[in-house]
């Protein structure tokens, strides 16, 4: 199974080469995915799965588009 991963802003450095077709085992949580990518959970603010808000416990089955955003400041 594969997913499409997009890491934004300061997290983009963690984007794997295979981001468009990143292999996962069915049942992988977003928290486990972050661990595999080397991204600390406290660096993540927003998670979107197929355009809907997700969280660290969201389970992936394959085929999803996953967007991960850090906290962003601005004004």
pLDDT tens per residue across span 7-57: 999 999 999 999 999 999 999 999 999 999 999 999 999 999 999 999 999
The CATH number for 9's domain is 3.10.20.30
Residue 13: inside a domain: yes
Residue 60: inside a domain: yes
The pLDDT confidence band at residue 73, using thresholds 50, 70 and 90, is low
Residue 42: inside a domain: yes
pLDDT at 75: 57
Provide the number of structural domains found in the chain: 1
Q: Is the dihedral of CA 22, 30, 39, 67 positive or negative?
A: positive
- As given in the structure block, the two tokens for residue 15 are 């984007």
Residue 27: inside a domain: yes
Residue 74: inside a domain: no
Residue 75: inside a domain: no
pLDDT at 72: 80
- What is the domain extent for residue 25? 2-69
* Closest residue by Cα to residue 15 from 69, 58, 56, 51: 69
């Amino acid at each position: 199974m594969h997913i499409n991963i997009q890491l934004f802003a300061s997290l983009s450095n963690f984007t794997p080469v295979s981001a468009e077709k990143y292999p996962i085992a069915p049942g992988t949580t977003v928290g486990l995915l972050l661990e595999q990518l080397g991204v600390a959970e406290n660096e993540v603010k927003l998670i979107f799965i197929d355009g809907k808000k997700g969280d660290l416990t969201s389970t992936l089955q394959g085929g999803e588009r996953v967007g991960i955003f850090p906290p962003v400041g601005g004004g």
